[in-house]
Amino acid sequence: MSAHGVNSQEDNQDTGKSSAWSAFSSKFSDFKQKTKNKHMELSNYARTKGSEFAVYANQQSRSIMQKIKKDEQPAQQEKERYVFGVPLEYVMEYSGHEYGIPLIVYDCINELTDAIDEVGLYRIPGSTHQVEILKDKYDFLEAVDLKGENPNTVATLLKLFLRNCKYKLVIFKNNP
């Protein structure tokens, strides 16, 4: 075969590759343009309907959360509490201490004696989340170790117990 024939064959192959690439490139460009158009269409739709959807989603999530809370309430009410919000006689019966005071009072005061120099003790509130955890542990007679707890959290727990006592602890003659 002559040199001219080889070049002609290579030119045909290059032309074939070139036309295949050209066809692919054209189809890809079309696809890319359609994708951009669809993206713009969806973006415009989201912009117009997005706020409506956000309001709807917010309403639905509130509704679901209310249902969950309603479902949880009976389960929590079924458990009997033994410390918070019950008469002191019951507290002493179920969680009394050998010194004749509720165990929670003994534990809190015992822990707070080491923190007597803490700035703002009884004034600065402790972690609400941690107080709730400790409250539930005492309420359901679980073992509680206050060692290492933040003194403000322990003081807040003690104040919560005293505040939730069923009856007044201190009665003044002139105060009904």
Question: What pLDDT is attached to residue 174?
Answer: 66
Residue 168 is assigned to a structural domain of this protein: no
Does residue 2 sit in the same domain as residue 74?
yes
Residue 45 is assigned to a structural domain of this protein: yes
78-83 own/partner pairs: CB under 8 Å, 24+ apart = 79/140, 81/139, 81/140, 82/138, 82/139, 82/140, 82/141, 83/135, 83/138, 83/139, 83/141, 83/161
The whole-angstrom separation of Cα 173 and Cα 103 is 29
Residue 22 is assigned to a structural domain of this protein: yes
Q: Based on the structure, what is the number of domains in the chain?
A: 2
Block mean pLDDT (10 aa), the chain, length 176: 53 63 79 80 72 69 71 55 82 79 92 90 92 93 91 95 80 65
Does residue 74 sit in the same domain as residue 102?
no
Question: What pLDDT is attached to residue 90?
Answer: 81
Parent domain of 157:
88-163
DSSP state of 150: -
Note if the pTM is more than 0.85: no
Domain boundary among 78, 99, 130: 78
Residue 83 is assigned to a structural domain of this protein: no
Question: What pLDDT is attached to residue 111?
Answer: 93
Does residue 9 sit in the same domain as residue 42?
yes
Residue 175 is assigned to a structural domain of this protein: no
CA–CA distance from 73 to each of 100, 104, 132, 166 (Å)? 33, 25, 16, 22
User: What's the token pair of residue 36?
Assistant: 């951009």
Question: What pLDDT is attached to residue 15?
Answer: 62
Domain boundary among 78, 96, 111: 78
